[in-house]
Structure 1
Amino acid sequence: MRVNEAVPDFADVFPFEEFNRMQRAALPAVLDSEENVVVSAPTASGKTALAELAICRTLRSDGTALFLAPLRALTNEKESEWERFEDLGYSVYVVTGERDLNPRRAERADVLVMTPEKADSATRKHDTARHSFITDVDCCIIDEVHLLDSDKRGSVLEVTVSRLRRLCAPRVVALSATMPNIEDVAGWLDAPEDCTFTFGEEYRPVPLHAGVETYAHGENPFQDKYRRLFRAMDLAQPHVEDGGQALVFVSSRQDTVRAAEKARDVVAERDIEMGARGDYDMHSEAQDLNNDTLRQSVVDGVAFHHAGLSREDKDRVEAWFRDGTVQLLFSTSTLAWGVNLPARCVVIRDTKLHDPLEGEVDMSPLDVLQMLGRAGRPGYDDAGYAYVVSDGADAQKYRTLLREGKEIESRLAEDLDAHLNAEVALGYVREMDDVMEWLETTFYYVRAQSAPDGATDGSIDYPFGGNLRTRARGTLDSLVADGFVEEDGLRLRPTPLGRLASKFYMRLDTAREFADLAERAAERPIDEGDVLRTVAAAAEFDSVSARKSERDAVESVLGQSFATDAEGEDLEPGNRKVLAICRAAMRGSTPGELQSDAWVIRQNVLRLLAALHAFAREFADARAANLVRRVEARVETGISGDAVGLTAVDGVARGRAGKLAAEGLTTPADLVAAGVEGLVDAGLSEGVAERVLRNARDLPVVAVDWGDFPDSIALGERAMCPVTVRSTAGSARAGVRVTVNGREMSSSETHLGETETTVGLFGTSETDELTYRVTVAFPDLPLAPVAESRTVRVD
């Protein structure tokens, strides 16, 4: 079946002229039917073409297609590949967390590319102008639908697709690697039998020989890692010497670099012939690489690949591997999910990995199968060879996995409360019957019927029949009891707590702790330590581990923060590590022992601080919200507390703020007073100084006019005195609080241009002096609060 006969208007989209036999079998259902379609087929068998056929059918009908990609890296790849659609006059738009959303482009797009997480966010906010585009989707293509079984992300994919189907009822085309229970996925998506396809290993373009190899333990984990590397090299060597290529998966970015460096030594010691060695052109091209270690490595035919490399370096490594210049490639799991880089030999060196938030975890069975499926290059190899290098105790587990595959399970039960809360917050679930109607749209419901005795591996206990309603009722009761949902008779309503928990994708127990802190802050002041400790103790960090080598670094950081007792002594070691990373980030210097996990933990801390700020706005006051905003700015930039207000100025980030603070300019008002000349003297270029000054003038500068406020008042007298608070520069939301001798007299929030408050003076016999203080705090800006006071004698 030729492409130009099947889809003549879209023939240029496909990089080949004829469909293969798997594609021919599924093509009528995908291209000519309106039904939902589910296809399970081996890796590298050509499923991407089916996704493109589904897109073609949608565009032919002037519809909008949504492609759900399992990884952000893959969304970027599709954007590049699908320039072919752009060449035909269609618009392809990628929506990811690393780019600012352009609602106009998203609305006009013919093809949207998103991760499940971004689609989840968009469906939650579909009734806003920025995200209304999601309701115009006519066809949803789910790439790697077996992601449903992912511990962390499976439930997000599940509820997102279920919600999207309720919002706009798109056609769904789901694609997957081989899965034994495809009928469950088809049942969930209402795909009829004649639109459900299972293509076995006989459809692999290259036969796969897979096995499990064990290794002898060394004296410590470090030795074990290198023993696994030598075992991987033993397995790869015959294929490399025969002119083939080997792809070795390791657990971390750092390990890809270290393994590649060690592998170069092994190649030299064993005198393994590599085609790139001595190639003058290769030496010249390698000089263009940004990564120094990679530049030295590729000239020997050895390379590494991970998400931290620059886009240019990754593109070069992928191109060299495709053309055979690089014969031995070390990578993280990113290459397993969608990037089309097969190899004759694939070895999984590490079956366990360190997750900054979870500690040491086993690689998921899905990842294992996905990686092994990369073995065998169509058109080049007669067979693919794939190996798992495993601890002897785990060998049988992996042999069973290779022999029997992995049934796809629902992970919704693991965080059913959070997802049910989100449905109530969004207004989709308004009574108990709605809860059951929602559950019946999920994969969880389908698996509960087909596996009443639970998952075959014992990992999940599915409720069946009436038990499902009982479990749902129990989950709902807990949401009501914890204050996330209100139940008035038969009606369900979200509370402010429930809405915030849904908006920020939080664990519910964390949301409860945040609300408790905010409510305490409304009654008495909280400090920086309270904020950091609450975030560090969040349930999101419960699985963080502090390795022995990190604990001294944790103690040194927390010891430097406080001169007496160590901070957070009552926290678990992992949560103290999070606290130490926060403190180190605020100082702008993180100990080397903590750096490997610091970036991921800091990003999650910043997300939770943004949430805590919203909780403070809802349940506390401007002072608490301002405190959280200042802590957030310091964790993000590493700027000192006295200069954190500079980060409120657009164009002043960490480096520039540090430079200005070193010159004694620590507030936006200081910048305005310095003028362009003073900012240039502080080290800014004239153009930057002009822009910074312009932005600083947009921020408020507080002035308090006490008017005729007296110096004294007679015993028993009373007086009411107007006090004016205004900004002499820009305006912003501000909380204005008046206290006398530390006791609150009044508190209000206003958009500060100019506001007047009346202060009552009372001559009392309880004291000889009355100290009145006006405090102005900006809840949404990291500006330090401004306080002025007057003391009145009682005569």
Structure 2
Amino acid sequence: MPGRTEYEPQVAVREVLPGYADAFPFDSFNRMQSEALPAIVEREENVVVSAPTASGKTALAEAAICRAIDDDGTALFLAPLRALTNEKESEWERFEELGYSVYVVTGERDLNPRRAERADILVMTPEKADSATRKHDSPRYGFITDVDTCIIDEVHLLDSDKRGSVLEVTISRLRRLCDPRVVALSATMPNIDDVADWLDATPDTTFAFGEDYRPVPLEAGVKTYTHGENAFADKYRRLYRAMDLVEPHLREEGQGLVFVSSRQDTVQAAKKARDEIAERDVPMGARGDYDFHQEAQEVNNETLRQSVLDGVGFHHAGLSKGDKELVEKWFREGTLGLLFSTSTLAWGVNLPARCVVIRDTKLHDPLEGEVDMSPLDVLQMLGRAGRPGYDDRGYAWVVCDRADADKYRQLLRDGKEIESRLAEDLDAHLNAEIVLGTVRDLDDVLDWIETTFYAVRARSAPDEYESEGQLRERVSDTLESLVDRGFVDMDDDLRLSPTRLGRLASKFYLRLDTAREFATLAERASDDDSATSLSSDDVLKAVATAGEFDSASARRDERDAVRAVLGQFGQDLDPGPRKVLAILQSSMNSTTPAELRSDAWVIRQNSLRLLAALRSFLDHLAGAPAANLASRVEARIEHGVSADAVELTALDGVGSGRASRLAKEGLSSVADVREAGVEGVVAAGLSDGVAKQVVGSARSLPDLEFDWGEFPERIARGANEMCEVTVTNVGDGARAGVRITVNDHEMTATDSYVGTATLPVGVFGGDAEELTYTAEVFFPELPLLPVSDSRTVRVE
């Protein structure tokens, strides 16, 4: 690139890593990489590197991986987003071709402990690593303590509102568990020394590469627009402003990358931009290019297929993998001149453009309503401006309302110091450490806090945080609160142990106020004698009012839809939780109103996690009947099926569509499917192969028989007789709660893994003229309807 000889390649890959030249997509490292490499490859200490976006930090991560493999170790790469873990799996096939194993551990697939244990390179999100370190002493997750090198990609994620504290405690915990070497990579940040202090990186292994190391010089600024009363019209005002900024570069055959707030906005903005480009007569598009026209037919998304022919694309996480890869390829080649994207692209794919515009600085969060875009996201996006080797300069603009202009100008001028977010969830994280057993007494608590970035920032900026004494006082107060609220027990010697409540809260990553409310509901259910004391409405309300949803909001246009779903139910709730309640209620029958669908997926996914937690609370604290009710509610929300067909979702291969089809044909229970057999299920509309799978699954689920033995039909008043009932499962075993009631009052109960269970039954001739004895079986972990059998005894 003219005038930028200092950015030409510096050190050949074969010189530094002779055995791994084929693992890199280039022959030589650039100047930034060349200066940092000796610390990564030749030294043992932890390393922290801060460098401008797109300057080549990924190559440093790969060099650290090579060093770990050379030392016969395992490298863990922490990617900031789940979508990026799968990209790394594809990208690092280069290591697989050299004979090294790459394994991505995500929540989307079943963990294969053997593959994880044998992997040379593990790829995880901070959340998955948090889960693995919490379960490190289990056989499935024991591999996590074998990590020798941990590479943190985008360590400035520490400052993320929702995810920063997870990364912070996970790294602190991992270092206590197995003390791996840490290589932390970051975009430019003013307080890199704080991160280095936290990770014990030496001055010789801490690198702060400034803007002069940016491959292409950056011109960044803020442009304002006139804010109107209509939010929809404002989007177009900002779009026209963005087009004004991008247009000159498009005319010079440069490229524009415009970030918007949502997936749907990428599509709508691309459509409108195509019209604008035609109106402004900007020379773009490839409609006359026969080869590209043929290639574009490979695109699955019809709107995208038409758009790319005009030189305009869009990119978001909802597109198929193939469509995303084609868009990325065409943009890199220059076939697409203008691309609209969500922020995911800024954190992952290295896809720079001459001009980057952030059209939307605010976004709609389903759980919080309208929120400002994170300063980290803003800086990450702007850093994508300038294509190395093609552009002499990059241009980056923030489009915002005049009221916000000074805020963004200051951000561009001063950058963003990385702060700790641990204080916001200190009680939950401390509880987790006590559950893990890494914190056993008060001294351990104070030692633990010293391992966190929070403690480093408190020392570095005491005016903004706390003095050392205040920090210790805060931690002691937090511990006292955990004890007072029943999450932790502390004996006279100040030794700490988790309670059942504390264990459940940690297992399900709950806010502690939510855990306390779930426990209260479970305790109330356990105190009631009636099997129907807890209703599905109680379960739905407990989830909708959970602290995890306390920032949920309902727009005005959504409130009529909420009323239509709920009527008077939940009228005492605030609009946000009531909206959550409406989405849950309507999801049970797949009748979610159109006005609520944009937020429904996120709310459902969060709710399913909370329902699984509530089910476990009810199982441990109230018993199988309450847990089974929650299990059925959970299945209905997940699959959108009616109450009479919900147990069909326990069958392998049966989701909402097949459950509804079977129920419509009169097969609404597992017993119905067993009785119908393959022929009957085929007659109900399923293919022969699916029918065999479904019937096989039905035959493997519990199938109960009741034996009342010598049970009397009548008994004399004042007499008594001891009998027993035996419940036998002739299907596969499952954990169940079995109880005996007489005239709806519980006599005896047991929880067991049902193969065969025998319970005593006392028949007493009392005041009642008739006694109805019922044996009931509830499955706390399966959405099966309760199974019961009764006997009636006359009192004479």
Q: TM-score range by the shorter chain?
A: over 0.9
Could you list the structure 1 runs, at least 4 aligned residues long, displaced by more than 4 angstroms after superposition. Answer: none
Q: Find the partner of 2:522 among 518, 523, 527.
A: 518
C-alpha displacement at 1:553, in angstroms?
A: 0.8
Distance 2:131 2:782 in 1: 25
User: Do structure 1's residue 121 and structure 2's residue 124 form an aligned pair?
Assistant: no
- In structure 1, the residue matched to 2:643 is 641
C-alpha displacement at 1:329, in angstroms?
A: 0.5
Q: Per-residue displacement from partner, 1:323-345 (whole Å, max 9, x unpaired)?
A: 01111100000010031100000
User: Do structure 1's residue 764 and structure 2's residue 766 form an aligned pair?
Assistant: yes
Counterparts of 1:10-29 in structure 2 under 5 Å? 10-29=20-39
C-alpha displacement at 1:301, in angstroms?
A: 0.6
TM-score, with length taken from structure 2: 0.97
Distance 2:285 2:761 in 1: 84
- In structure 2, the residue matched to 1:255 is 265
User: Do structure 1's residue 535 and structure 2's residue 535 form an aligned pair?
Assistant: no
Q: Per-residue displacement from partner, 1:109-152 (whole Å, max 9, x unpaired)?
A: 11111111111111111111111111111111111110000000
Counterpart secondary structure, 1:54: helix
User: Do structure 1's residue 558 and structure 2's residue 569 form an aligned pair?
Assistant: no
Q: Which has the larger displacement, 373-382 or 665-674?
A: 665-674
- In structure 1, the residue matched to 2:183 is 173
User: Do structure 1's residue 162 and structure 2's residue 172 form an aligned pair?
Assistant: yes
- In structure 1, the residue matched to 2:214 is 204
C-alpha displacement at 1:793, in angstroms?
A: 2.2
Question: Is the CA contact (8 Å cut-off) linking 1:228 and 1:389 kept in structure 2?
Answer: yes
- In structure 2, the residue matched to 1:475 is 478
C-alpha displacement at 1:358, in angstroms?
A: 1.5
Distance 1:338 1:678 in 2: 50
C-alpha displacement at 1:40, in angstroms?
A: 0.7
Q: Per-residue displacement from partner, 1:439-489 (whole Å, max 9, x unpaired)?
A: 1111000000010000xxxxxxx1212111110110001100010000012
The amino acid that maps onto 1:351 is T
Question: Is the CA contact (8 Å cut-off) linking 2:285 and 2:312 kept in structure 1?
Answer: no
C-alpha displacement at 1:14, in angstroms?
A: 1.6
- In structure 1, the residue matched to 2:719 is 717
Distance 1:730 1:435 in 2: 46
Q: Per-residue displacement from partner, 1:292-318 (whole Å, max 9, x unpaired)?
A: 111111110111100000000000000
Counterparts of 1:285-434 in structure 2 under 5 Å? 285-434=295-444
Distance 1:75 1:652 in 2: 30
User: Do structure 1's residue 488 and structure 2's residue 491 form an aligned pair?
Assistant: yes
Distance 2:178 2:752 in 1: 41
Q: Find the partner of 1:509 among 498, 509, 513.
A: 513
C-alpha displacement at 1:397, in angstroms?
A: 0.4
Q: Find the partner of 1:667 among 666, 669, 676.
A: 669
Distance 1:109 1:143 in 2: 19
Question: Is the CA contact (8 Å cut-off) linking 2:285 and 2:309 kept in structure 1?
Answer: no
Counterparts of 1:580-729 in structure 2 under 5 Å? 580-729=582-731
The amino acid that maps onto 2:289 is D
Distance 1:372 1:670 in 2: 60
Q: Per-residue displacement from partner, 1:695-742 (whole Å, max 9, x unpaired)?
A: 111112223233332232221111122222223433322211111122
C-alpha displacement at 1:790, in angstroms?
A: 2.5
Question: Is the CA contact (8 Å cut-off) linking 1:606 and 1:632 kept in structure 2?
Answer: yes
The amino acid that maps onto 2:71 is S
Question: Is the CA contact (8 Å cut-off) linking 2:725 and 2:760 kept in structure 1?
Answer: yes
Distance 2:296 2:54 in 1: 29
Question: Is the CA contact (8 Å cut-off) linking 1:218 and 1:227 kept in structure 2?
Answer: no
- In structure 1, the residue matched to 2:68 is 58
C-alpha displacement at 1:263, in angstroms?
A: 0.8
Distance 1:377 1:16 in 2: 16
Q: Per-residue displacement from partner, 1:412-444 (whole Å, max 9, x unpaired)?
A: 011100000000000000111101111111100
C-alpha displacement at 1:18, in angstroms?
A: 1.8
Question: Is the CA contact (8 Å cut-off) linking 1:734 and 1:776 kept in structure 2?
Answer: yes
C-alpha displacement at 1:225, in angstroms?
A: 0.8
Q: Per-residue displacement from partner, 1:177-214 (whole Å, max 9, x unpaired)?
A: 11001110000000111111111101111000000000
Distance 2:220 2:379 in 1: 10
Distance 1:750 1:149 in 2: 47
Structure 2: segments with no counterpart, 5+ residues: 1-10
- In structure 1, the residue matched to 2:571 is 569
Question: Is the CA contact (8 Å cut-off) linking 2:588 and 2:637 kept in structure 1?
Answer: yes
- In structure 2, the residue matched to 1:459 is none
C-alpha displacement at 1:582, in angstroms?
A: 0.7
Counterpart secondary structure, 1:625: helix
C-alpha displacement at 1:58, in angstroms?
A: 1.0
- In structure 2, the residue matched to 1:789 is 790
Counterparts of 1:231-246 in structure 2 under 5 Å? 231-246=241-256
Counterpart secondary structure, 1:697: helix
The amino acid that maps onto 2:676 is A
Q: Which has the larger displacement, 736-745 or 470-479?
A: 736-745
Question: Is the CA contact (8 Å cut-off) linking 1:250 and 1:349 kept in structure 2?
Answer: yes
Question: Is the CA contact (8 Å cut-off) linking 1:138 and 1:170 kept in structure 2?
Answer: yes
Distance 1:520 1:360 in 2: 37
Counterpart secondary structure, 2:29: coil
- In structure 2, the residue matched to 1:151 is 161
Distance 1:628 1:776 in 2: 15
TM-score, with length taken from structure 1: 0.97
The amino acid that maps onto 1:746 is T
- In structure 2, the residue matched to 1:270 is 280
Counterpart secondary structure, 1:138: strand
The amino acid that maps onto 2:131 is S
- In structure 1, the residue matched to 2:5 is none
Counterpart secondary structure, 1:500: helix
Distance 1:323 1:660 in 2: 51
The amino acid that maps onto 1:548 is R
Distance 2:227 2:736 in 1: 63
Distance 2:219 2:115 in 1: 46
C-alpha displacement at 1:686, in angstroms?
A: 1.7
Question: Is the CA contact (8 Å cut-off) linking 1:352 and 1:362 kept in structure 2?
Answer: yes
C-alpha displacement at 1:376, in angstroms?
A: 0.1
Counterpart secondary structure, 1:112: strand
Question: Is the CA contact (8 Å cut-off) linking 1:91 and 1:111 kept in structure 2?
Answer: yes
